[in-house]
Amino acid sequence: MTLSRRAMLGAALALPAATAFADNGWPGALVMGTGRPGGYYTSYGTAWGRLAAQATGVDIAFRASGGAAADILLIEQNAAQLGMTTATVAEQARNGTGNWTAGVKFQSFRALFPMFPSTLQIVSPRNTGITTLAGLAGRRLGTGPDGGSGAAAIPGILASIGVLPDQTIPGDYEAQMRAMLAGALDACAFLGAPPIPAIAAIADHEKLSLIGFSDAEAAQVARTQPGMTAMMLAAGTFPGQSVTVGSVGTANIAIGTADLPDALAQAITLAALRNRPVLAAIVPAAGTTLTPATTLQSGITYHPGAAAALRSYGLDVPVSAVAG
């Protein structure tokens, strides 16, 4: 993984807010874990980080990572202080479930605010003949970046409905789509805000089957996989998609280290809440209203400063869901 510092939005402006925060004991800089090309964590995280830097006067550097699981690990190692994850991966982290945790229960991260929903998007070339979830049994399946939500959650999601691929293979979105078209993978299953750009780009000129969940399959996943719920991929999500397709998904959550000063966590959260239209222009799914309730079943706790910001917007954060 590489570390790079990017120019902050409005850094050239002599913002009064930045001067006011100069002597408050806040750190001069923070590191944010983001994601991999072809997903939305990189673009969303960069935009949120720039807004937060502008609002607080604290520089934010960006560190590329696999995504949801990797960002939790970075915070646990104090290699980053901000990041993004999903409710289902956060639940695995808190309880030490999921192969990526090696049984370790991670306690250093706190939720800041719900960002947008992610939906499981499974595609296969028409010539494979795979049109149902059962057709993935015994096949080679790309699951997106190592350290991302898909790689962490998809094996359990499919196993919960009795579908066991021969291999679930992590990798960057665009590279896996190319590998699928070349026949090295039979299908790709990515968990992210729809439409995943790497899928949409291929669907524009290749014939793909979009593989959906029945109501019963989605209900089974929701019952057995904490943080997951039934979702839909509306008609027109991808080029040539004429009907709505059932799926499952989870909520994306902005996270930070428990050590963030309360006032700083509050300001960083408010920077996102006050600029939802800006963020929704980058990730359309960010225009969907998510409440803290969407994350509570994962067992994740909110930072006190973030909880104060959410409550100021009329969002309910129970006292039991807040931890310093």
If you average pLDDT over residues 165-193, what whole number do you get?
97
Global pTM? 0.88
The DSSP secondary structure of 36-105, one letter per residue, reads -TTSSHHHHHHHHHHHHHHHH--EEEEE--SSHHHHHHHHHTTS-SEEEEEHHHHHHHHHT-SGGGTTPP
If you average pLDDT over residues 270-298, what whole number do you get?
87
For residue range 112-124, what is the model confidence (pLDDT) as tens digits?
999 999 999 999 9
**pLDDT score, position 293:** 79
Q: Domain 118-250 is of which CATH architecture?
A: 3-Layer(aba) Sandwich (3.40)
Residue 5's pLDDT band (cuts 50, 70, 90): very low
Token representation of residue 28: 């001069």
d(CA 220, CA 156): 12
In terms of CATH, what superfamily is 3-116+252-321?
Answer: Periplasmic binding protein-like II (3.40.190.10)
Query: So where are the chain's domains?
Result: 3-116+252-321, 118-250
Instruction: State the maximum Cα–Cα separation within the chain, in Å, rounded to a whole number.
Output: 63
Same fold, 3-116+252-321 and 118-250: yes
d(CA 250, CA 120): 9
For residue range 45-93, what is the model confidence (pLDDT) as tens digits?
999 999 999 999 999 999 999 999 999 999 999 999 999 999 999 999 9
- Which residue, among 278, 267, 255, has the nearest Cα to 57 in the 3D structure? 267
Half-sphere exposure of 161 (CA within 13 A, CB side): 24
Examine the pLDDT at 170 and tell me if it is beyond 70: yes
